[in-house]
Amino acid sequence: MLSEQLEKIKIVPVLVLNTLDEGLAVCEQLCKNGLPAAEITFRTAAAEPVIREVSKRFPEMYVGAGTVLNITDLHRAFDAGAKFAVAPGFNPKVVAEAVKCNLDFFPAVCTPSEVEQAMEFGCRMLKFFPAEACGGIPMLKSIIAPYKHLGVKFMPTGGVKPVNVESYLQIPEVAAVGGTWLNKCDDETIRQAAAIAAKYIKK
């Protein structure tokens, strides 16, 4: 299950990559330093080939596609071997297609109405985006409250950084966070993030 996989990772680096070589180097760096996961955003032409090659070369890595805006993007992610896909908004057509493809997919929400629309499609893992701009932890807790008994999980992304990441991870309904600060960073920053994640992974 997607939520179980994310619970084992806790911090998913969100990457914008310009070339295949760059993508392979960054993903190798993440694996080497204890953070074998990545949301590779479809903001550049390199995303699809990076996902395809990373899936082959680093099978232990939990790699997915981000910024999936339409059905074409979804099929590109699926065909490249993405293990999950993420959207910055809620598009019912894309969610329905993801269900058909049996691809783990979580759309973004920032209101109760969007949560309920996503749940109608069977989504139980949702991206809370843009997290800090939407009100941060107080807003997320308010959104969680009416649905707590239904087992909905969230992945806050957008404005999550080292100074607030643990406050998000302490929320039981947060399966993981999206880490944009981990885009093309140094080894020590990755190791620090991996150490934080390890504190919240259930043994």
Residues that are catalytic: 39, 127
In sequence order, which residues have a C-beta less than 8 Å from that of residue 81 and are 6 or more positions away?
51, 52, 55, 56, 63
Residues in the chain: 203
Q: What share of the chain is helix, strand, coil (3-state, %, to 5)?
A: 45, 20, 35
R_g over Cα of the chain: 16
Rounded Cα distance between 50 and 102, Å, is: 21
